[in-house]
Chain A
Amino acid sequence: MALRAIASRKTLAALGSGLRAQARLATTAAAAAASRGLVTFSLPDLPYDYGALEPAVSAEIMQLHHQKHHQSYVTNYNKALEQLEDAVARDDAPAVVKLQSAIKFNGGGHINHSIFWKNLAPIHEGGGEPPKGSLGWAIDADFGSWEAFVQKMNAEGAALQGSGWVWLGLDKEFKKLVVETTANQDPLVTKGANLVPLIGIDVWEHAYYLQYKNAKPDYLKNIWKVIDWKYASEVYEKECR
């Protein structure tokens, strides 16, 4: 868990372990909870240095975003789940219901950011390269062209009021690609049970403000230089088999 404080080069292997890391015990609180049989989540390591996405996204933003914002979602998600377990154990239905917004917000924050880190890569590791293969063809088919797709993502992201995310998703029932937005930390599935997130772009102000200030459209234009399609392609191919 403290691994994230070391700004050393992280391998792609850590990418896969990120999800498994969720089940790993990382803190005293987590250890205590786990000794009661409660699953806890932990902050996944980034598979690249904080500065590796510059100049598209600054190191300062990456570090705050990962170490503070995402960590806070993880911590509060774990807290909410523990409180949920207690509420269920004592049959406190009002308390169970009251906890739902904290679970959705913090759990959603953890889910969304975990995907986001996998959607990014340094340029020398493939970041910025449009997708090839079946996902690349699907984008052409469903949006007309790569340019039209990017334009749609950026338009939706720019138009989103308040905090939220813009997504490329796969409707796995119809095998169609869609561009969707969600508010706050709502995961994509809240827009449709059949929607699988492929690419998510965080348009909360914390994702860009220190660098781009109010110029959200500039952030959206630049982040494509470090958007990586390996994860998205894997998920797409698996769902469309």
Chain B
Amino acid sequence: MATATVAATAPLSNGFLLRRGPNEGAKSARSLQRTKNQRQSASSRRFGAAVITAKFDLKPPPYPLNALEPHMSANTLSFHWGKHHRAYVDNLNKQIVGTELEAKSLEDIVIQTYNDGDLLPPFNNAAQIWNHDFFWESMKPGGGGKPSGELLKLIERDFGSFEKLCEELRAAAATQFGSGWAWLAFNPRPSDGKELLVVKSPNAVNPLVLGYIPLLTIDVWEHAYYLDYQNRRPDYISIFMEKLVSWDAVSAKLEVAKAQAA
């Protein structure tokens, strides 16, 4: 199904490429927008040298840096987005100059440099840019509450109840040893019929490289919560679930995921 798009992009050649297919190219509105925002910055065009340097930009969160107060402080956002996320962007741009990765979309770079788990140097920066873009979108001012509609239906089908999903998500986030992320993801080809699943991943790894479509993420690197919660990761996770999570964003991503998988 995905052969045409796959051939044009990553050189990986194993089974999960087929599952990865729907994520790529122009098929999904989400990835189109992401490609548009992330691919070209005309500011690095150089005359005469006939070299066009594709650079990634630091995308701002979809709300002001103080909009998540008091649950996630403006201070945290200023470091987390302004320093950490910015550094990933700056460092990836430096790493890909003069390489074949320069011409690729961010998602393509993530998949290619994941290299079946034998991580290539740009993976950490590329994946962390992707993950953080996604993290800001997973939250909103006045977040929390419950999902509704199709999303709630699928949650109840695959987890039994919304409460059960929350339990699994919290547990995944709390038990990710060291740095990493917890995710709600969509499996386009579930062997057990369950399309929704909770995944936890270390460092920069994300469900894209596992063949899933991310729907929601919570960052559990210490820098995500230490200024506001210190060692109290469980408190941070609770506040995220109760006050920050944007179920609207999750619903929107689910719609896109289902359309791709159809």
Which A residues fall within an 8 A CB radius of B?
Answer: 64, 68-69, 72, 101, 105, 161-164, 183-185, 204-206, 209-210, 213-214
Contact = CB atoms under 8 A, between A and B. Distances in A.
B221 A214 contact: no
B177 A205 contact: no
B230 A214 contact: no
Given A209-B222, A209-B227, 20 more contacts: A64-B230, A68-B230, A68-B231, A72-B231, A101-B177, A105-B177, A161-B124, A162-B203, A162-B204, A162-B221, A163-B178, A164-B178, A185-B177, A204-B178, A204-B222, A205-B221, A205-B223, A206-B226, A210-B227, A210-B230
Nearest to A101: B177
Contact of A214 (B79, B202, B203, B231): B79
Contacts of B203: 161-162
B84 interface: yes
Given A64-B231, A68-B231, A214-B79, A162 B226 contact: no
Given A161-B203, A214-B83, A205 B230 contact: no
A166 to B, nearest CB: 15
A74 to B, nearest CB: 14
B179 interface: yes
A43 to B, nearest CB: 14
Interface string B168-211: 00000000011110000000000000000000001110000000
What's the interface size class on B, roughly?
A: 10 to 19
Contacts of A64: 230-231
28 contacts: A64-B230, A64-B231, A69-B231, A101-B177, A161-B124, A162-B179, A162-B202, A162-B203, A163-B178, A163-B179, A163-B222, A183-B178, A184-B177, A185-B178, A204-B178, A205-B221, A205-B222, A205-B223, A205-B226, A206-B222, A209-B222, A209-B223, A209-B226, A209-B227, A210-B227, A214-B79, A214-B83, A214-B223
A72 B124 CA distance: 29
A95 to B, nearest CB: 16
Nearest to A204: B222
Interface string B106-141: 000000000000000000100000000000000000
Interface in B62-108: 79, 83-84, 87
Given A162-B179, A163-B222, A205-B221, A213 B79 contact: yes
Contacts of A101: 177
Contacts of A210: 226-227, 230
Interface string B226-244: 1100110000000000000
B178 A184 contact: yes
Contacts of B79: 213-214
Contacts of A184: 177-178
B132 to A, nearest CB: 13
A105 B230 CA distance: 20
